[in-house]
Structure 1
Amino acid sequence: MIITIDTGTTNTRVALFEGKQRVDQVKANVGVRNTSIDGNNQLLINTISEAIVELKNKHSLQDSDIQAILAAGMITSNLGLYEVPHLVAPVSLEGFATNIKSVVIPSISTLPIHFIPGVKNLDTDNLQSVAGLDIMRGEEVEALAIADLFDIEQDAVIALPGSHSKFVSIDSKQAIQGCCTTLAGELNAIITSNTILTSSLENRFSDSLCNEALLEGYQAAESFGIGHALFQIRLKEQFEGKSHEQLASFLIGVVLHSDIKALRSAPQLGFTSGTPVYIGGSGLLCEATAVLVKHLFPEAPVYQCNDTQDLSAVGSMYIAKKANII
């Protein structure tokens, strides 16, 4: 059995696996945000310790039954359990494997926890400018999970839409070349719920996507900039009688205009009009990203990896196997 820990800003998942099959999982609304607020990581320690105990007791497991405990994400930051410095891209699978930090934290387990490092695009010692710089903790293992599951053996970009969307560039040997972060999901949420447009958007996301409105929103941002394009949502609601689905889709098009510009322009991604794009996850942001990339770059193969689950855990195990931990 393998235990995986995935800690983000607001949530932690501790899962039990047999091979790549998840047997059970404990979720908690505790993340590194709590460490920042509390000034210490005791709540995070307690949460993870209790989750591991719960999984072991529920499945009648002893320490001898646990092959490894793997950890990735913000848990390796200065607000997590154990800080592991970012590796500087490019980072190969072997690079991740050789830089895993294995640490026993007695208040959690007598078994070592294997912490997988994150990635930064540039060496930040004596950095003069953040141009070209980006960082990630957690998305690197998700990207490698997709590379493993879809047997990627070519230069590609892996898109991971979400609150903080990531584009991750990998080469034909599955080495991570760099990443680029946007605030797409967070912007979509803030505009939907905390602006003059909240009434027009009914303070909620749409359950479905209108491709025509999505493309119209993208084009409005291209023609007029994000500010006026956004105000058009109110105009369309008041004077064109557009449906909620159309208005919410238009908004996503406006927001994702910046994502597409980042994909095109970020030097660390090396994207061209023919670069394959793998989109991990499900939901409207993922669907919308696929629609826009297909429309704007018809020569680029687009793969929607929407049936994937447990990407963080699968990627962590992929690296751990390379390190001969499992």
Structure 2
Amino acid sequence: MYIATIDTGTTNTRVKVWHEGVVCGQAAAAVGVRDTVRTGSRARLQQGVHACLETALAEAGISWKKVGLVLASGMITSNVGLCEVPHVPAPAGVFEVARGMVAAVIPEVLDGPIWFVPGVKNAVAEVSLETCEGMDMMRGEEVETFGIMTQMGLNGPALVALPGSHSKYICIDETGRITGCLTTLAGELLDVITHHTLLADALGGAFADAINPDMLRQGAAYARDVGLSRLCFTTRILHLFTGCSRNDKANFLLGAVLAADLMALRGSQALKFNPEIPVWVAGKSELRQALILLFDDDPHFRGRVREVDDAVLQNAAGAGAIAVARARGLV
């Protein structure tokens, strides 16, 4: 059976066509739920998803008649997506998430049904100022996590780190269920500081393109001592009065931003886990390398730190969605 998987985030959509566990066609477009928010209409999102499906099918060399199942995950299941599906409360494994799947027909996208995979939220009965630190949620990262587990044979307990625009840290128990997640705006914060503050001059409007361990560690240590805001201005001081390269300064800032993530992991109520459990780190190469280094340096995290390579992450969302569909009995 051919299966099409749709992974839609805030700004991008990726479609893959699978046959017997192998990707045989794919397409991507810079369209996401942000377009719905920006335009007040779902039309652009509908058109973008439809176009990606058509392109992926063409690359696979098949017609719609051969597609037996279409799955969708990510922000496409939010209130600004194509079909809102309630989050499943943690703890949630593939079977719990599978029970929350919803099928819907959206004629502007596809004549047949699309099965939408729900996200997962932390189990906080009532959110208030006193309890909000324990709350968190995700749409899309749950299937990425299941996909990483499926492809790498990962068994819990473990902590899965997915650094990016919205960095997600996901805890898995010994039965393979997600027990909770923690989100930071690490990537967005780094982007804003790099491109839209006075530091754009010091950093040349660019991120670190090669990891400098010494500068990364210095940035992390400095931020722990004086805070991120002061470190940001110190980056400008380094620019004006030292011979630090652009990449050195970018590493200095990156270390500080990621150090704040580790601080959140140590102190937040959103995740409760044994620091002895292994940590699996995915994400773009530079972010992944930097985060692995800082995890290794931090005495609080005593489990083995392992790397999830690009090939696994590239197909994680689709592989995870298929694992959930299999638990539902659709595959």
Pair in the same fold by TM > 0.5: yes
1:29 aligns with 2:30: yes
SS in 1 for 2:161: strand
- In the alignment, the residues of structure 2 paired with residue 271 and residue 293 of structure 1 have an alpha-carbon distance, to the nearest angstrom, of 15
Whether the 8 Å contact between 1:264 and 1:271 is mirrored in structure 2 is no
Equivalence for 1:120: 121
Cα drift, residue 133 of structure 1: 0.6
Aligned equivalent of 2:307, options 304, 308, 321: 304
Match of 2:104 in 1: 103
CA 1:21–1:281: 2 relative to 1, 3 Å: farther
The answer to whether the 8 A contact 1:13-1:27 is kept is: yes
Using the TM superposition, give the Cα deviation of residue 219 of structure 1 relative to its aligned residue in structure 2, in angstroms.
0.4
Equivalent-residue separation in structure 1 for 2:296 and 2:61 (angstroms): 49
Q: Which residue of 2 aligns with 1:262?
A: 264
The Cα offsets for residues 155-175 of structure 1, whole Å up to 9 and x where unpaired, read as 111000001100001111110
Where 1:140 maps in the other structure, the secondary structure is helix
**1:40-76 deviation per Cα after TM superposition (whole angstroms, max 9, x unaligned):** 2111112222322333345443333112101000000
* Maintained 8 Å contact 2:24/2:59: no
Classify 1:242/1:153 alpha carbon distance in 2 versus 1 (closer, same or farther; 3 Å): same
Paired letter, 1:271 = F
Instruction: Choose the corresponding residue for 1:291, options 281, 293, 307.
Output: 293
* Alignment-derived partner of residue 191 in structure 1: 193
Q: Secondary structure at the match of 1:127?
A: coil
Which 4+ stretches in 1 moved above 3 angstroms? Answer: 54-60
* 2:45 corresponds to: 44
For 1:200, what is the secondary structure of its paired residue? helix
- The one-letter code of the counterpart of 1:315 is G
1:317 to 2:325 alignment: no
CA contact (8 A) 1:263 1:271 kept: no
Structure with more of its chain in helix, by fraction: 2
Q: Conserved in 2, the CA contact under 8 Å of 1:94 and 1:322?
A: yes
**Cα distance in structure 1, aligned partners of 2:292 and 2:266:** 15
Which segment is superposed worse, 132-141 or 270-279? Answer: 270-279
Report the alpha carbon displacement of residue 87 of structure 1 after superposing the two structures with TM: 0.9
Range with greater deviation from structure 2 (275-284 or 179-188): 275-284
Unaligned runs of 5+ in 1: none
Q: Does structure 1 retain, via aligned residues, the 8 Å contact 2:202–2:235?
A: yes
Q: May I ask how many residue pairs the two structures share in their alignment? A: 325
Task: Specify the SS of the correspondent of 1:154.
Answer: coil
TM-score when scaled to structure 1?
0.95
The answer on whether the counterparts of 2:133 and 2:269 sit within 8 Å (CA) in structure 1 is no
Return the offset for 1:310. 1.8
Conserved 8 A contact 1:146-1:280 = no
Mapped to 2, the partners of 1:109 and 1:235 lie a distance apart of 55
RMSD over equivalenced CA pairs, Å: 1.6
Letter in 2 for 1:176: I
Counterpart of 1:226 (choices 228, 248, 270) is: 228
- SS of the equivalent of 2:319 reads helix
Partners of 1:32 and 1:79 within 8 A in 2? yes
Pick aligned residue for 2:276 from 250, 274, 277 = 274
Percent of aligned pairs with the same amino acid? 37
AA aligned to 1:259 is D
Instruction: Rate the CA distance shift 1:58–1:163 in 2: closer, same or farther, 3 A.
Output: closer
| SS at 1:17 equivalent | strand
| TM-score (ref. length: structure 2) | 0.93
